[in-house]
Structure 1
């Protein structure tokens, strides 16, 4: 039997988690915490220095600028195994010191909703909630304002819109199989075709202000109308917790909205949607604040989704490729196809190494990194994951990264997806969940023709 290779990165992560989970850690002075973390730095053969710190994620020290950058750790086992304690160790800044709230993070899955369907039990529960919302037409008059108004027919009620908004806001990467029941059950209420193609609905990111705008309008009509919206937001979020692709942001939505079910007037002083969004976010506990990065720091959100993309590409290390360089190349492919002029806006959010890879992939058609780009809508053979779950994670992380840089730069997301995530669909078309025997097939015609 082959010996199990020791992984210093896993060992340090376990050690840091155990140390920070100790209740006494919070009382340790910051300089002492920094000293303890400095003793747990790793250095890889390429000279990189690594810290497992805040956000329960790895950070890499850049010798060129002396800064620490959020960075997914090496994926190749031989590189990880060769890591040694970092001596001498660079200073550990206070903002990277981990806290107990960091270790409570449960980020969930980065998979999109193509390939693995939403569990049937979850979809059935949403259907039950939707039936209740449909029965409120008489006592809950149609809503009239906010971003969700543009999505629905005039006779759709606010609770129906609240459910849709909760699903879209909590989804890590809202790219859905065109036959997904979670979407098709809303078809009779939607006023326009959803963006996408024959296989996938490439939906835009839902801002929190869309939900607070809906709630603010109902609050202006009275406590009962507001309570109904809060109830449907929380009931939907509770159901979505069952799927790890919704779990992280669903937990955050519950923390923000649940108090409104018993105290609908809680945010009454915040009359406009943006002010109310701030009030909601103030109720989110530290362990879930990462779910709010799209609202609070689009740049940091981009960094975290790019981290996810690098991790989703870890399988390429088997072929000797660097997942970070490949991720930078795929980012370049999407930016080049959608909005090449915004590339300079992304430079400050990439470390020097990634920035060089991104720039050369953008500017040099003959560079080997261009070999990572899709051709005729297909990914190169080396980027075809070996299994469905890995392909769904790569599609999801790629789409989430695309939405993140669009949000950061003010770019309108493409209605048919980004080139790299669209190419990944070809790896999943024949690996989607089969229909339940005896259940009628769901038609996608409602999305294309109204």
Structure 2
């Protein structure tokens, strides 16, 4: 007889709300009625915290200090009971609209294990090969000039920009084929260390500029070709869940103009920002979360913090574990705590009082670079360096082994993973490779989102918290050796 999973109040409440919102009648209900239905399913845990499963198919936690509701994964190990809540005290932003429950959540994994699939990389290679020899006079590089050499046509930048914009967290490892494809076009080695390329996430305006400038210059067919190239690249990226949500959103923005050339002429002739707004207006509500990075950077930050806490669900205390990664962020103006729920805020404040926050204010997190070989933390794991191809343009695999080994800190096994003692605190490492990649991706996404909100610089060698995660990952290949 199959084992029966124990009843869980959070799981049950979530199932009820999903069933209600999936009903076609949900969107026809007046907002007060929808708010009442959600508020009636409020849960409370023994510590007094109140939770509702609401907008964006995510949990929201009530802050007793100021009455706000924060996005926050629930403590599913704790018992909870249904108590209800005053519907009038529930903000409209917490109540599901309906389409927001349809969106595919995607994946928080960065590209540091596993690699992007070979088939996807080959499709991108073929697309790039077919378009990279265009004249730079016909396709001038009006964006991404800090990445590519001056004589590179904007067709190359359109493919690159689409990949980076669609990526959940654009951190790539030394075996990454997808980056090697662009090696001959780069202006300088990509930012990062000897193993990971910590790449910036471009804003949508950069992609828009490539198209809009050509239309204003009187070359509508060239502008249309660039829009088609962005669409073709996004279509290829749909096959990888780490790209899919934003790739789908980008397709909904550019495909209409491919069917109706001239649709965006008025906006493009006005300026880049007008065209950007035209694109964003075409993104349907069901994909709204995928473009929050453009439309509401503050809400996007909240979602990435949610992702980070979820990725740390294996830890005994996920909020406390997440606070250690949040401590990496530069926050000279003290803006971050007010954006956190009270559990995260208390854990973060403990680190702040100990002087262990804003650790990324210093540009270099490991002065001698990441080690290629470090003592492994898992019984029976293979030892030895992880082979990496050398590429002078991408900067991958540049002989870090010659610099000697650096320990990531004291380590010991726990039931929930590996505890790593660092200068910031105790980081509980994921018990497996997939978990480590998910935490690394989520933590980097938080850093990029915080940069959008605060203007804080993103360290070129990654955040301090990435060091033990990278050491945890580099011992196993994630590509296919020849």
CA contact (8 A) 2:159 2:229 kept: yes
Render the CA deviation track for 1:318-366: whole Å, top value 9, x for unaligned: xxxx21122112211x12xxx3514x12133112332222122122159
Is structure 2 residue 298 aligned with structure 1 residue 303?
no
Secondary structure, aligned partner of 1:150: coil
Corresponding position of 1:444: none
* Counterpart mapping for 1:26-175 below 5 A: 26-75=27-76, 77=77, 79=78, 82-87=79-84, 91-137=89-135, 141-146=138-143, 148-175=144-171
Corresponding position of 2:371: none
- Write the distance in 2 (CA, Å) between the matches of 1:195 and 1:149: 14
Corresponding position of 2:391: none
CA contact (8 A) 2:61 2:72 kept: yes
CA contact (8 A) 1:52 1:59 kept: yes
325, 346, 349: which one pairs with 1:330? 325
474, 479, 482: which one pairs with 1:429? 474
- Write the distance in 1 (CA, Å) between the matches of 2:229 and 2:450: 31
Is structure 2 residue 338 aligned with structure 1 residue 348?
yes
- Write the distance in 2 (CA, Å) between the matches of 1:116 and 1:241: 16
- Write the distance in 2 (CA, Å) between the matches of 1:377 and 1:128: 40
CA contact (8 A) 1:117 1:432 kept: no
Secondary structure, aligned partner of 1:60: strand
Structure 1 length-normalised TM: 0.88
Is structure 2 residue 249 aligned with structure 1 residue 248?
no
Secondary structure, aligned partner of 2:332: helix
Corresponding position of 1:281: 280
Note closer, same or farther for the CA distance 1:183–1:21 as it changes in structure 2 (3 Å cut).
Answer: same
Note closer, same or farther for the CA distance 1:379–1:56 as it changes in structure 2 (3 Å cut).
Answer: farther
Give 1:294 deviation, angstroms.
1.6
Give 1:87 deviation, angstroms.
4.6
Is structure 2 residue 450 aligned with structure 1 residue 405?
yes
- Write the distance in 2 (CA, Å) between the matches of 1:49 and 1:16: 16
Corresponding position of 2:5: 4
Number of residue equivalences: 417
Deviates more, 1:116-125 or 1:351-360: 351-360
Give 1:434 deviation, angstroms.
3.6
187, 192, 195: which one pairs with 2:191? 195
182, 205, 208: which one pairs with 2:204? 208
CA contact (8 A) 2:113 2:478 kept: yes
CA contact (8 A) 1:143 1:217 kept: no
- Write the distance in 2 (CA, Å) between the matches of 1:394 and 1:432: 18
Deviates more, 1:427-436 or 1:194-203: 427-436
Kindly indicate which of the two structures has a greater share of residues assigned to helix: 1
CA contact (8 A) 1:379 1:420 kept: no
- Write the distance in 2 (CA, Å) between the matches of 1:59 and 1:430: 38
Note closer, same or farther for the CA distance 1:346–1:25 as it changes in structure 2 (3 Å cut).
Answer: same
Unaligned runs of 5+ in 2: 358-364, 367-405, 412-417, 420-427
Secondary structure, aligned partner of 1:359: helix
Unaligned runs of 5+ in 1: 368-372, 438-450
Secondary structure, aligned partner of 1:245: coil
Render the CA deviation track for 1:199-257: whole Å, top value 9, x for unaligned: 10000111011101111112224121011111110111011011111011111110111
Give 1:156 deviation, angstroms.
1.5
CA contact (8 A) 1:58 1:70 kept: yes
Is structure 2 residue 266 aligned with structure 1 residue 269?
yes
- Write the distance in 1 (CA, Å) between the matches of 2:157 and 2:101: 34
- Write the distance in 2 (CA, Å) between the matches of 1:398 and 1:246: 17
Note closer, same or farther for the CA distance 1:189–1:408 as it changes in structure 2 (3 Å cut).
Answer: same
CA contact (8 A) 1:331 1:358 kept: yes
Note closer, same or farther for the CA distance 1:11–1:379 as it changes in structure 2 (3 Å cut).
Answer: farther
Give 1:376 deviation, angstroms.
5.2
